[in-house]
Amino acid sequence: MIPVTGYAGAQVAVLGLGRSGLATARALQAGGATPVCWDDGAEGRARAEAEGFALRELSRPEAFEGIACLVVSPGIPHLYPAPNRAIAAAWEAGIPVDNDIGLFFASFGSRTWDKFEQPPRVIAVTGSNGKSTTAALIHHILEHDGRPSQLAGNIGRGVLDIDPPRDGEIVVLELSSYQTELARALTPDIAVFTNLTPDHLDRHAGLGGYFAAKRRLFAEGAPDRMVIGVDEPEGRFLANQMGQGPGDNRVIRVSSAGKLQGPGWHVFARKGFLSEFRKAKQVGAIDLRDIRGLPGAHNHQNACAAYAATRTLGLSPKTVEAAFRTFDGLPHRSQIVAEANGVTVVNDSKATNADSAAQALRAFKRIRWIAGGLGKDGGIESLKDDLGGVVKAYLIGHSARDFALHLGGVPHEISETMAQAVARALAEAEPGDTVLLAPAAASFDQYPDFEKRGEDFMAEVRARLSDRPNSA
């Protein structure tokens, strides 16, 4: 646990009592503060009461009498599409609003570090797609090299729930736009921006607000090193803003769209080969084509970002490559779950929008595509140029018939359920085919989250395959 500093003897309100909210309450208490908790759900309040935390309904300004700060869980909207009532009440009462990420960065350092030979550092990863894989890959590389490391944030443990850092330890954080937007303190040593595609637009009132939330990690924190994906205009804008000139090696530009040129520090993937250039000279290279845990151009972009981040820590290209080859990937993200009779089965349940589904569709050939769920704005209309490798689509869930309207001449059937889609796809698959779950939709019509959807997919696959699958 990271005890929260700066509030000893004070009352601090905590709104939202899920994983991060309860971890925040415990960390505040460990730092000498008195948490005052609330959740609109009875289940959350019961969890807090079971741990002995005081409850107080926070929807009125007078509820904040004696409160020093309000700490908000990331899923609670504080501005768009409308502020939560408790947040609006805190504003009216003049109470500062923060989140666990802000408390973490304000409290991470301690006097025990004076005894360390190397102070602990933080690598923070944000972006639209690939940030979970990139953060996990950085953590894996560090562990593979024997370096102390912890993984937290939007993946792994809550930031305030991690262990106190050891000498020279690297804490790797995955941070969503919900987390970076509100945090009052953002001071990573190394910041990583993977890419930007439209998502969470209602929460940020459009793409500009969404990008602004991501940008805060760099503009507010002034990290020592910045790894920035430049395959979209926003990334190129960010890299330009953060750099002080062509030779500024604090900014490392990464790309999976083509070769990067110029005098700066570049890491890019082209035709399956990762290359590192400094001062227009190649200093490192890795053949990514046969690395099982990193299939497709989108994972090559993740590999470039993780490579660049760990190179700033002094790891050699050979060390990074060796770690790449032992990386199994993350569950529900281009996860190879079975290989039988020449057919590969891939679980990419995390592909909850058209952009992330496009990356999966580009990564494989001869695809039997399971898609559908609760479609987002635009559905799959933008995927029309990415369907060339689809042999047949099996459509499930609420948006199945809407998706069917945008498939053009691609053979398809309305399967409705995961069980039916898996059964039909496996029955019809031929050697060389890939059965791919990449829904391009949210899961909430049939499942509580994308993890449960992916788990159901894997269970259906395993129930129908006679050969034992290779789990990834």
SS (H, E, C) 307-337: HHHHHCCCCCHHHHHHHHCCCCCCCCCCEEE
Check residue 377 and give its pLDDT.
Answer: 83
- Asked if residue 3 is part of any domain, the answer here is no
CATH number for the domain spanning 76: value is: 3.40.50.720
Please state, in angstroms and rounded to a whole number, the distance separating the CA atoms of residues 447 and 417. 11
% of the chain at pLDDT higher than 70:
99
Tell me what the mean pLDDT of segment 414-443 comes to: 96
- Asked if residue 176 is part of any domain, the answer here is yes
- Is 308 in the same domain as 375? no
Domain count, the chain: 3
Q: Is the pLDDT of residue 176 over 50?
A: yes
Check residue 111 and give its pLDDT.
Answer: 82
Note down the domain range covering 216: 108-324
- Is 121 in the same domain as 161? yes
Q: Which of 274, 298, 324 is the last residue of a domain?
A: 324
* DSSP 8-state class, residue 364: -
Q: Is the pLDDT of residue 108 over 90?
A: yes
Q: Does residue 417 sit in helix, strand or coil?
A: coil
- Asked if residue 380 is part of any domain, the answer here is yes
Which residue pairs from 286-290 have beta carbons closer than 8 angstroms and sit at least 24 positions apart in sequence? 286/317, 286/320, 286/321, 286/324, 288/324
- Is 283 in the same domain as 190? yes
* DSSP 8-state class, residue 189: S
Q: Is the pLDDT of residue 37 over 50?
A: yes
Residue set of the binding site: 127-133
Check residue 246 and give its pLDDT.
Answer: 85
Q: Which of 301, 324, 347 is the last residue of a domain?
A: 324
Contact call for residues 352 and 443 (beta carbons, < 8 A) = yes
- Is 163 in the same domain as 305? yes
pLDDT digits (tens, 9 = 90+) for 301-346: 999 999 999 999 999 999 999 999 999 888 898 888 999 999 999 9
- Is 297 in the same domain as 363? no
Please state, in angstroms and rounded to a whole number, the distance separating the CA atoms of residues 136 and 119. 22
- Is 316 in the same domain as 167? yes
Check residue 466 and give its pLDDT.
Answer: 61
Strands 335-340 and 343-347: antiparallel
Contact call for residues 448 and 455 (beta carbons, < 8 A) = no
Concatenating the DSSP letter of every residue in 193-255 gives E----S-SHHHHTSHHHHHHHHHHHHHTT--SEEEEE-SSHHHHHHHHHH-SSTT-TTEEEEE
- Which one, of 272, 271, 125, 257, lies nearest residue 194 by Cα? 125
Edge-first strand order for the sheet with 121-126 is 149-153, 170-174, 121-126, 190-193, 225-229, 251-255, 265-270, 273-278, 281-287
pLDDT digits (tens, 9 = 90+) for 79-99: 999 999 999 999 999 999 999
CATH number for the domain spanning 394: value is: 3.90.190.20
- Is 268 in the same domain as 160? yes
pLDDT digits (tens, 9 = 90+) for 342-371: 999 999 999 998 988 998 999 899 999 999
- Is 156 in the same domain as 265? yes
Say how many C-beta atoms besides its own lie within 10 A of residue 261's C-beta.
Answer: 10
- Asked if residue 469 is part of any domain, the answer here is no
- Asked if residue 329 is part of any domain, the answer here is no
- Asked if residue 355 is part of any domain, the answer here is yes
Residue set of the binding site for ATP: 127-133
Q: Is the pLDDT of residue 300 over 80?
A: yes
- Asked if residue 472 is part of any domain, the answer here is no
- Is 143 in the same domain as 44? no
Going by pLDDT thresholds of 50, 70 and 90, the confidence category of residue 467 is very low
- Asked if residue 330 is part of any domain, the answer here is no
Tell me what the mean pLDDT of segment 100-121 comes to: 93
Tell me the two tokens of residue 126: 């944000």
- Is 353 in the same domain as 316? no
Torsion over CA of 417, 361, 297 and 137, rounded to 10 degrees? 10
- Is 277 in the same domain as 189? yes
- Is 164 in the same domain as 261? yes
Q: Which of 67, 98, 129 is the last residue of a domain?
A: 98
Helix (H) or strand (E) holding 282: strand 281-287
Tell me what the mean pLDDT of segment 52-76 comes to: 96
Tell me what the mean pLDDT of segment 280-290 comes to: 95
